[in-house]
Structure 1
Amino acid sequence: MSSKDDIQLLRINYLRGPNIWTYRPTLEVWLDLGELEEFPSNLLPGFNDRLVALLPALEEHHCGVGERGGFIQRLREGTWTGHVLEHVVIELLNLAGMPTGFGQTRSTSKRGVYRMVFRARDEQVARMALAEGHKLLMAAINSQPFEVPAAVNKVREQVDDCYLGPSTACIVAAATERGIPHIRLNDGNLVQLGHGAQQRRIWTAETELTSAIAEGIASDKDLTKSLLKSCGVPVPEGEAVDSAEAAWSAAQDIGLPVVIKPSDGNHGRGVSLDLSRREDIEAAFHVAALHGSEVLVERFIRGNEHRLLVVGGKVVAAARGSVAVVTGNGRNTVTELVDAQINTDPRRGTHEDAPLGLVETGKDEAVLLELQRQGLSPEAVPEAGRQVLIQRNGNVSVDCTDLVHPEVAHVVSLAARVVGLDIAGVDLVAEDISKPLNQQGAAIVEVNAGPGLLMHLKPAEGSPRPVGRAIVDHLFAEDENGRIPVIGVAGSQGTHTVARLAAWLLHLSGLKVGLACREGLFLDSRRIESAPSAGWEPAHRLLINRAVQAAVIENGARSILQDGLAYDRCAVGVVTDLGGAEGLAEYDITDSDQLLKVLRTQVDVVLPDGVAVLNADDARVAGLATLCDGDAILYAVNAQAPSLVAHRAAQGRAVVLNTKGQVTLATGAAEVPLTSITHLTGRRKQDASDVLVASILAAVGAGWAMGISPDLIAAGLKTFEIDLASSRLAHLAH
């Protein structure tokens, strides 16, 4: 078979929020199959076998068949290579440790051109997976060699570089389970949970409630000890020293054996334990001095190293450490034994999600010192059967949460409170964590701010602990979800007026309102930018602003197609009309029926306790009510619109003009007239007036959906200025 020309990637677009495909961020790729349009998978000799040989786990893909092997069935029956690329990319992401289940491929109006989309938690990771998947697919088509492990490593490296660390990711996942939205604020682990004034921020396992003073105290181990001791918390006797000679002198005063460690180190770096000989103590001083500004000498406490996680004053997880040893065989060096007996443990690695780190005998000063104390070096060959101690600490990975004695939990919680940390990793040494500390001469040796959570999420032994959920529950009360009221307005006619009037009604109700619409960006009725702001970026800026208690966001179809929505869910979703399809040909949208599938996105994201506000003058828009998770309020200039009449007959809510020209709130047959709006519409042309009337009715529907009282809505209509130049919004902008 002759080689096939490459599939062309015409356009790659990252949809950052809910979109026409799914609620989640996705990467959308426009593909031109070229000559491969004539060659579905069953017409490419040997292709299916080559592809499955490269990616055996494709057998697990259900595809549209809905069961294991479904995708393989599609391959054998014949499916186009755009669809195959979707599954190849998904499988590469799975292999790289970022499981992805969602993907779709759809044809366009142009022969051979497809839109392929897949779930993308991070844009750069998704782009790398696409690039490698594209190369793999063409290699399988043209029977060329391809190194799958190398491709997976490239994607995995991108995951490590770009995605949230495991501690942050577990907190975000727990927030998502509770329906709390999140926004990543930088390329690292700074994340906002919630929106606007209801938000909380985390940075790994630190929160906005974590005191800078407390963090400073925790970083100074000597100061931490003195504060703990003053409050009756057991700590080992010790002192700071500035030389190797002083370390030996202090050790003699304290009593041998001792521990040497840096005063402000972390992760156990530079810590040496159970030292009794002068030469070992002086050598340990120099190791510790490399990792901190001061060196501490402390009484050595016998027992196991433990890490207890305190969240909001409660111990929520505990892990125990163990020593790392190797057994000599008379043939291999210490380094070789470590690599064979310790580093082969699948729990060890250099990546962030490895519970245990690799032991580097030639680089780790503490390991070198430990070997020196045993008369060995990394190159030494221990005799057969000899036990060689490699590490005394740094291997905390055995869950022991259920064994923690209540008195131990009390003392550990007290230690976190004394330092002032809302989240703390408290290190203690004890022979038995199930007994009170004072019965066994145990003590707390460190209190850490921003503790790692991996040892509790992926313990080497024992059960994982829901520490992410504990942190989220600490930040948000049981009845809180971090959300502010969001009103989304989609359509093309009068949507800016709907957005402005809805924002005005929220403002009158006492909320500080953010407004993003085509007439600018507004904060609490002040226009801060006059550039058109009906898009993802301005809306995003509102959602991260702590001053915003409610947000009104205008979304055009183009914005939804280009970026998706800036919010995951909303309290109210308004759809006004199906106009504007003629300007969306580049997205393969040419008529209003296609546009309906775009604007339904606004209805799809309405919360279960929220409301869709829909224009019943177009039966297709009114029909979106059946797709809403919440309630629906219809409005129409024509009070006899069939969809509206049917809705009212079913005791649904509607906003109409009554025979006196008054805006009226209707529930079934019952009506509550508000006020006339002739002062807003009377001087305008009839065709323009219909759009304006519809816009006013939509905004009233949004206010009603938000629970604003009829009297306040009426007052809002009387005080609202249609023309921005003469409105309060403009006055306050200057």
Structure 2
Amino acid sequence: MNKKNDIKFLRVNHLRGPNIWTYRPVIEAWLDIGELEEYPSHTLPGFTDRLLAWLPGLAAHHCGLGYHGGFVERLREGTWAGHILEHVVLELQNRAGMQTGFGKTRSTGEHGVYKMAFRTRDPVVGRAALDAGHALLMAAINDTPFDMPATVAHLTGLVDRYCLGPSTAHIVDGATERGIPSLRLTDGNLVQLGHGAAQRRIWTAETDRTSAIGEGIASDKDLTKTLLSSCGVPVPEGALVRSAEQAWEQAQDIGLPVVLKPVDGNHGRGVTLNLASQADVAAAYAIAAEAGGSRAVLVERFIPGNEHRLLVVGRTVVAAARGESLWVTGDGESNVIALCDSQINTDPRRGDSEEHPLGRVTPHDDEIMLDLKRQGLSPQSVPLAGQKVLIQVNGNVADDVTDQMHPSVAQAAALAARIVGLDIAGIDLVTSDISRPLADTRGAIIEVNSSPGLLAHIKPASGQPRNVGQAIVDHLFAEQETGRIPVVGVTGTLGASLIARLVGSLVHISGKHVGVANGEGLYLDARRVSANDATGFDAGQRILINRTVQTAVFESNARSILLEGLPYDRCTVGIVTDMEGLSGLAEFHIRDQDALANVIRSQVDVILPQGTAVLNAAIDEVAALAGLSDGRVIFYALDENNAVVANHRAEGERVVFVRDNSIVLAEGFDEETVLLELSKIPPATVKHPESVLAAVAAAWALGVAPDLICGGLRSFDPTPKKTHH
């Protein structure tokens, strides 16, 4: 078979907001498939089988046919390289642990040139998957070798490095289900839920309500115990010591066996259980002192039973998981290291990445070495056939027991979190039976942890997964809260910058802090803080991150939508002024009015169901966008007798027009408000009367009172105030 020439990438773009393809961020690639235009998949001998051997998951892709196996059907019938690449890239992302499903490929009308878009949760991973998919596709076409395991390993590493951790992603998914928008503020796990003044922040399992004092108390185990004990929460008796000799003295006073742990540890590090000899206590003291980084170590009564981790969110325990002791059984041939690898580490829940709820067990850990030593063994020892060896007593919390928990146990855990002062806490307790009160089992709370791990509850080894992300979102936002502030989007070329500023000014007069991003700059309230063009994505994000902003107004245009997408996910009011500007878009393969309308419609597609589209009734293509609005529609036009305006009024809907040189707001034919004569508006503003009508309609849609709109129009000065640095 002749080798086929390579596919060329003409342009690769990350569309970070809603765009011509979908509401979500995508990577858009422009491809020139060259001679492959003449070779659809069914003309390439063995191609489909080679592709499916490398990516068997493609068999599940529905494609446009809407059923399992639809894509393979298309491959066998014949489809083109651009479309195949889209599916390969999606499947590679799925294989790397980043689930995505949306992809589309469209011809540009130029021979062999396609635009392809695919959903990605991170641009670095998406670009890498695109490059890998391209290499894989050409290898399958040309029947050359391809290293699939290395490719998946590389992409999986990028997912671990660049994507949100699984716990944070789980919380963000909980917010998305409630319609709450999210913005990632760093490369790590700091995420803003909601916009502007309505926002909250999370950092994995910490929130902007998590108390720094509470975290400080939780990290001091001795102080935590003192506070819990004084409030009647059962804790093990214990004492703080600063030497191995003191530790042994206290152990005898408390009563053997005992537990040693660092006073400022976390997540079970440096903890040794069930110590009954002076030598063991001395060895455990050294481990705890090193793990905690100080000589202060806690000696506590050993409580028989299983370790449990309870997750408290707000005032409620939302999940409980039970730990288990780890054992291996000797075979008379393998040493302890080999037995751990064959009997414990083969568990698919164990691994080194954040995706795994349980860690791999290495017998060289100090605590495990000590447990082995107490059994007369070392990691190199070969236990007898059938001999049971204890590897780890605690730290393997993985079985969901939420539904078995006694109400009084949940109450004690919730109280412990409140005493320490944490809104989200991991409560470690030991009991032989969580379905009975702690007093009956001599159980006790042994630790309170801030920033607890969530994976054991999201992906338990056994039992039901718990939607703890939803619980955290419900804790941050009351039932009726969406995290949204009113967002106004203005798209077009006719006075869009003026409209954006005028809407901002009219809302500001009603007593709200307003951010405006338009072609003239960035404004907070009436003050210009930057004179650079602010129609791009980054400028828009600056407004949505600002915690003082109560309403945000953005100008966009066809070019900014094509280059980056809209800078917000949904809007309350979407204004479209016109369908001009086609000549400047030839480089995007936008060659006719229909293609332009497909770009501009993005502004109307993102309007919320309770929102409003504000459309120029004098331009037919703009008026036609009304049917795409999920919310209501207000038409504006200078001419009261415009057919679109008249029909809309006849349906009882809202319109804004000019009659006898005055601006009129009308709802149906029964309600009219004559607002203001155009002559009373400053000349610099009123020389663009349609722009004034669009801004008035938006302010009306946002509930600004007519008298305030009048005052705002009289006082508005379109010349930008000086920029303050």
Shorter-chain TM-score above 0.5: yes
Distance 1:733 1:342 in 2: 63
- Taking the aligned partners of 1:57 and 1:673, their CA distance within structure 2 comes to 63
Deviations 1:154-212 (A, max 9, x none): 11111100111111111111001001000000011100000000000000000000110
1:148 has 2:148 as partner: yes
2:79 and 2:412 mapped to 1: Cα distance? Answer: 64
Partner of 1:120: 120
Residues 261 and 271 in structure 1, CA contact (< 8 A), matched pair in contact too: yes
Residue equivalent to 2:350: 348
Residues 535, 555 of structure 2: 8 Å contact kept: yes
Correspondence for 2:703? 707
C-alpha displacement at 1:280, in angstroms? Answer: 1.1
* Greater displacement, 427-436 / 107-116: 107-116
Does the CA contact (< 8 Å) of 1:680 and 1:722 recur in 2? no
Aligned to 1:674: 675
In the alignment, what sits opposite 2:312? 310
Question: 3-state DSSP class of the match of 2:554?
Answer: strand
**Could you tell me how far apart the structure 2 residues matched to 1:90 and 1:355 are?**
26
Question: Are 2:262 and 2:289, in contact at CA under 8 Å, matched by a contact in 1?
Answer: yes
Secondary structure of 1:290's counterpart equals helix
Which amino acid is 1:696 matched to?
A: V
CA drift at 1:290: 2.2
Q: Counterpart of 1:574 in 2: which secondary structure?
A: strand
Matched, 1:224 2:224: yes
Alignment partner, residue 665 of structure 1: 665
Residue 427 of structure 2 corresponds to residue 426 of structure 1: yes
The equivalent of 2:291 in structure 1 is 291
Q: What is the deviation of 1:668?
A: 2.1
- Structure 1 distance, partners of 2:406, 2:49, is 58
Q: Distance in 2 between matches of 1:85 and 1:276?
A: 64
Which segments of 5 or more consecutive residues in structure 1 lack a partner in the other structure? 725-729
**In the TM superposition, what whole-angstrom CA distance separates every residue of 1:642-668 from its partner, at most 9, and x where no partner exists?**
32222222222111001x111111222
* SS of the residue 1:493 aligns to: coil
Aligned counterpart, 1:466? 467
Letter in 1 for 2:653: G
Alignment of 1:99-118 (within 5 A): 99-118=99-118
Counterpart secondary structure, 1:542: helix
Of residues 232-241 and 484-493 in structure 1, the stretch that sits farther from structure 2 once superposed is 232-241
> Which residue does 1:521 correspond to in 2?
522
Letter in 2 for 1:355: P
Map of 1:55 onto structure 2: 55
Corresponding residue of 2:399? 398
Look up the match of 1:265. Answer: 265
- Please report how far the alpha carbon of residue 608 of structure 1 lies from its aligned counterpart in structure 2 after TM superposition: 0.4
CA displacement at 1:66 relative to structure 2: 1.2
- Amino acid in the other structure paired with 1:539: G
Alpha-carbon separation, structure 2, partners of 1:120 and 1:554: 26
Contact 1:582 1:591 in 2 (8 A): no
Read off the aligned partner of 1:142 and give its amino acid letter.
N
Tell me if the contact between 2:528 and 2:722 (Cα under 8 Å) persists in the aligned partners: no
- Whole-Å separation in 2 of the counterparts to 1:103 and 1:326: 47
Whole-angstrom distance in 1 between the partners of 2:535 and 2:486: 18
Mapped to 1, the partners of 2:678 and 2:254 lie a distance apart of 86
Share of identical aligned residues, percent? 60
| Mean CA deviation greater in 294-303 or 423-432 | 294-303
2:86 match: 86
Relative to structure 1, the CA distance from residue 731 to residue 108 in structure 2 (aligned partners, 3 Å threshold; closer, same or farther) is closer
8 A Cα contact 2:684 2:718, kept in partner: no
Secondary structure of 1:291 counterpart: helix
Correspondence for 2:718: 722
Deviations 1:378-429 (A, max 9, x none): 1111111111101101100111111211111111111111100011101111
Offset, 1:246: 2.4
Q: Distance in 1 between matches of 2:205 and 2:707?
A: 47
Partner of 2:137: 137
Asked if 1 retains the 8 angstrom alpha-carbon contact of 2:505 and 2:525, the reply is no
TM-score, length basis structure 2:
0.98
What is aligned with 2:327? 325
**CA-to-aligned-CA distance 1:426-466 (integer Å, 9 cap, x gap):** 11111111111122211111000010111111110100111
Supply the distance in 2 between the matched residues of 1:162 and 1:181 (Cα, whole angstroms): 20
Whether 1:43 and 2:43 are equivalent positions in the alignment is yes
Q: Which amino acid aligns with 1:487?
A: V
For 1:498-509, list aligned pairs within 5 A. Answer: 498-509=499-510
Q: How far apart are the structure 1 equivalents of 2:628 and 2:583?
A: 25
| Distance in 2 separating the partners of 1:682 and 1:282 | 88
Report if the CA contact (8 A) 1:301-1:443 is conserved. Answer: yes
After superposition, give the CA deviation of every residue in 1:556-586 in whole Å (9 maximum; x if it has no partner): 2111111111111111010111111211222
CA contact (8 A) 1:681 1:693 kept: no
> C-alpha separation between the residues in 2 aligned to 1:568 and 1:63?
26
Change over 3 Å in CA distance of 1:524–1:147 after alignment to 2:
same
SS at match of 2:180: coil
- Does the CA contact (< 8 Å) of 1:488 and 1:572 recur in 2? yes
Q: CA separation in 2, counterparts of 1:683 and 1:284? A: 80
How much has 1:678 moved relative to structure 2? 2.5
Q: Hey, what does 2:162 align to over in structure 1? A: 162
* Residue in structure 2 matched with residue 727 of structure 1 by the alignment: none
Alignment check: 8 A CA contact 2:575 2:615 kept: yes
Offset of residue 683 of structure 1 = 7.5
Letter of the 1:498 partner, please give it. Answer: I
Q: Is the 8 A contact 1:535 1:556 kept in 2?
A: no
What is the CA distance between 1:229 and its match in structure 2? Answer: 1.2
Query: 2:681, 2:536 → 1: CA distance?
Result: 27
Amino acid at match of 2:633: A
- Shift of the 592–723 alpha-carbon distance from structure 1 to 2, 3 Å rule, reads farther
1:339 and 2:335 matched: no
Instruction: Tell me the distance in 2 between the aligned counterparts of 1:60 and 1:70.
Output: 8
Q: Distance in 1 between matches of 2:188 and 2:25?
A: 18
Deviation at 1:477, TM superposition (A): 0.4
Residues 671-722 of structure 1, C-alpha deviation per residue, up to 9 Å, x if partnerless? Answer: 22100123447689xxx94xx1111111011011111122221222222223
Residues 665 and 675 in structure 2, CA contact (< 8 A), matched pair in contact too: yes
Mapped contact 2:506–2:708 kept (Cα < 8 A): yes
CA contact (8 A) 2:529 2:723 kept: no
Match of 1:533 in 2: 534
**Structure 2 unaligned runs (5+)?**
none
When structure 1 is superposed on structure 2, of 228-237 and 117-126 the one drifting more is 228-237
Further displaced range: 353-362 or 494-503: 353-362
| Aligned position for 1:611 | 612
Looking at structure 1, the residues matched to 69 and 475 of structure 2 have their Cα atoms a distance apart, in angstroms, of 43
Partner of 1:647: 648
Structure 1 residue 214: deviation in Å?
Answer: 0.6
Q: What is residue 199 of structure 2 aligned with on the other side? A: 199
Give the partner amino acid of 1:384.
A
Amino acid at match of 1:706: L
Matched AA of 2:329: T
Distance 2:146 2:599 in 1: 39
Matched, 1:408 2:409: yes
For residues 731 and 669 of structure 1, the distance between their equivalents in structure 2, rounded to whole angstroms, comes to: 44
Aligned residues: 722
Q: What one-letter code is carried by the residue in structure 1 that aligns with 2:501?
A: R
Letter aligned with residue 168 of structure 1: T
Seen in structure 2, the aligned counterparts of structure 1 residues 520 and 678 have a Cα distance that, compared at 3 Å, is same
Query: What amino acid is aligned across from residue 61 of structure 1 in structure 2?
Result: H
